[in-house]
Structure 1
Amino acid sequence: MDHSKTAAGVLKGVGGEDNVQSLVHCATRLRFVLKDESKADSAAIKATPGVITTAQAGGQYQVVIGNDVPEVFAEIGKISKFGGSAPTAATTDAPRGNLFNRFIAMIAAIFTPLLWALAGTGLLKAFLAAAVTFGWIDATTSTYLVLNALSDAFINFLPIALAITAARYFKASEFTSLAIAGALVYPTITASVGLPDLTFFGIPFTMVTYVSSVIPIIIIVWLQSHAEKVLYRVLPGAIRRFVTPMIVVLIAVPLVFVVIGPISAVLSGWIGNGIGWVFTNAPWAGGALMGGLWQVFVIFGLHWGLVPLFSLEYQTTGQILLIAPVFAAVLAQAAAVAGVWVRTRNKNLKSLAAPATLSGFLAGITEPAIYGINLPLKRPFAFGIVGGVLGGALMALGGIFSTSFVVPSGLALPALFGNGSMIMLVIGMATAIIVPFLLTVIVGFKDPVDEAVIPAEGTDVAVLSPIDGTVVALSETPDAAFADGSLGQGVAIKPRSGAVYAPFDAVVVAAFPTGHAIGLRHADGAELLIHIGIDTVKLGGQHFSLKVTSGQQVAAGDLLLEFDGDAIEAAGYDLTTPVIITNPDLYPEVGDAASGPIAHGEPLFFARAVESAFAAK
């Protein structure tokens, strides 16, 4: 499907943007509220490639698309003020699973929206550094001043950007979060870093830098989200809108300055001093620790604790031994993301890995690589640490040092030339780059690719009942698109309980935040949609409780979601639940369908692959 052409055809068919009052989408269809439904050309819309059918119900003009509805919805957002990028479960619901996986999911959700800007400004910084290195731009000119501001501003004020994404993730007020972040990087606050005898109402504290920081703003926005819930509940309606942000800012900002920031700084100092001691007494171990742990410290913002050590060493000796292994750490992560670029078959991941690789190698800006690719994929990040450990140890053994304070990157490598053993520098850099690159390419990682699985002839996928209830024919569903099989073959169930369980071992491919529908993919490629009720997307998630997230692996019998059937029916919605195979191109036959009363876990029907369905693939 050409999503852009489908979007343009649908928008034209409904009478154009001027005839649209609102637009949302559910699991399978675009749901328009039109100003004048008589202007909609149903025949033209149905003839648009990618459109299955249309329906008119509940005051909505519905265009049935199927699995590709989010992409078409996004394309409509590009050509009109409607549509766009719909929120996903990963960014609107708290992730589930073990603590580490939840942390990874949180980092990815908060940082992913920032990656393109980080990559773009990182590349600009790399090009600017190259221009200065080769004498194309004079660093004392106003041209350089402007270009340097363009390349540095975003990462310099990163807490402000993170305030927005963290607020969206934790469901806090975005503008209150911006007020908090703005205070952290306010010019007079930044200028007070290191000043003695600072107090807040008599409470002494030490001001630390929050420029480019990550952890303090995420922690405080998380606390803000909880505080706002309490304040909105207890404050009178007449004043809660303006008193809530006043109270939150008044408490949150001093809390960061007095507690969170200093604790982070103290922790950074302890770690920095410990590594410095090891580096002095065992250079190879110091190099391995710096090379291996630097990017881990970057994630937590703890690397700032090492920066004063760089300055102190330079001030006392005129050289910086500690910084050399950091080159290995930075270039190792860049090499790992380069390996992802080479190996992945996911077009989106490849398009992100390309600028992240260049940004890491040239400018030493590894945030796009770490937060967007290596850390979520896990293995590439670990391979980058291995390369940093080996490369850092070799460079430290060679006595490599810098005679200037630089940001470690490919373009800054001349700062290390002529300082220590050049043979060990070459060997160390080569090791830091080659090892993680080869490990990523050869050993690999779990590539997030939605590949079409071609089942063997006659493959049967047994679908168990996901719900306790009564099985009825799909044709009895009070919705034309489901009833006539346009969306896929299967059955319908009238629930008698409010729990939905996995009907087979599967991957969750669509977990809608509204909780009204869920899509699953079997290992043999069969895709199943469980749609709780008819038009229940209008409830906006009310009476539904989603228990899984998109991308999660589930086993047959695992709880997927819960719903309050009585409340849904009381709201005027039919609870008839279609359970259908949504890729009939691979599984066109559904047989042995059950009927009458059924309990979850009992056989519901078989989906069968036949040769004619996939011979041409």
Structure 2
Amino acid sequence: MTDSQQIAERLLAALGGADNIVDVENCMTRLRIGVRDLRPINAQSIRETDKVLAYIPGLNCQIVLGPGLVDKVANDLNAALARAAKTLTASHSPSGNSAEELASAGAAIRQRNSERNNTPVKNALRRISNIFVPLIPALIGCGLIAGINGTLTNLAAGGGVPWLAAITPLFAVMSSGFFALLSVFVGMNAAKEFGGTPILGGVVGAIIVAPAVANVTVFGQVLAPGQGGVLGALGAAILAAYVERWARRWAPEVLALIVVPTVTILVSGLATLFFLMPIAGRLSVFIGEGATWLLSNAGIGAGFILGGAFLPLVMTGLHQTLTPIHATLIEQNGYTILLPVLAMGGAGQIGAAIAVYFRLRRNTGIRKIIKSALPAGFLGVGEPLIYGVTLPLGRPFLMACVGGAFGGAVIGLSDQLGYTIGSVAIGASDLSLFPLLAGNHGQGIAALGYACGLLVAYVVGFVATWFFGFTRDSLASLNSEPSAETDLVEEDVTELATAGSTR
């Protein structure tokens, strides 16, 4: 049995068994599990499961596992649920109605859970996540190769290592191929998400980057290959999905294979050329120029606000809405200048968590959580510290935001002085962002500016939490636990912290 299968089996038991699980979904770092009843759940067992970084309870609970592993555990957990369902059905007599009644009850539970999650904001976040999260490994991999290539190119241009000039074209091809066809991949994922055929979404996305677009004139304006970029591909693929579904309703079954794709490409393709590319092109330029202007002219203030607001965005999941903006900036400039600013939120939280660790010297429960969550935090996975430490304690979460705000102000100041700091890919932050850094004065200057921002965020988050993170009463309450009680569970920590922070 693999590690992911062992984790899935333990989580299945700790969550109350297959009968108590309604559905299982996952994003890049978290399992999202709908449950029927909270009473049979063993929260302590979940938190003590190997590789589990954090557990957020509720009827729609979340279990943080980190990138990569979460996909495997989600697949294994769904497979375990399928096996349990087959066993349950086989164990009932064919003449009885128990299995049917249970299936009916399960369908009703799924319906209620679906209705509870069927809000415009949650649906939009889920769809954006489903479209862009699968692209993140390629964005990181190709971005890192691009960063390596930039370093090698500088060394070759300096004359110190001339033989590198023969290698850099190889790295350039490997890193640029994906970005050149990014609109195609976005189109495929968007079409699939909206109920269309992925390859048809990829076709209309390919229209945007096709070289022949340069021969097309629309309303007196010559189009340019890539105009509209990711946003244009997103709109085109969504339109293609709706056109395809409409065409399938009336096309004769015997001709559907010919009629449906032809109509889909014609209608959505013409709409892309005449409307979506010009509109999305203007919008993309506005986003790029707007972000550049904001950090160039109001760098300190903009960085302060963005860095301080990022943790609440992560907590609510709204940070997913920024993914298309990051992708647009990368497509336009080769890097996004927003991600290094936003990454300061996680750095402020690390400083706050370290301060909590030293302030609560006698609280072995919280200190244990911090020690296990800090390595993931330094690598850019912030949920364990959010849900396991700073947010339950109240004030430290606000102080973490303050640390992120000051770190963001440093990054904004660098941009305002003309030394932009950007990331060639999305999906990484904190220390893991260093290999992906770029800027208008080279990777070295960008790395130096980013390191200064991290240092300020760490220090301010630590100092703010040390002096303002606790009231006198809450500090006394949280430190009242004897150090011998090493088995203190997080529920007790959270309850005590909440009581102390509200005094």
TM (norm. structure 2) is 0.48
Q: Which has the larger radius of gyration?
A: 1
More relative contact order, 1 or 2 (CA 8 Å, 6+ apart): 2
More helix by share: 2
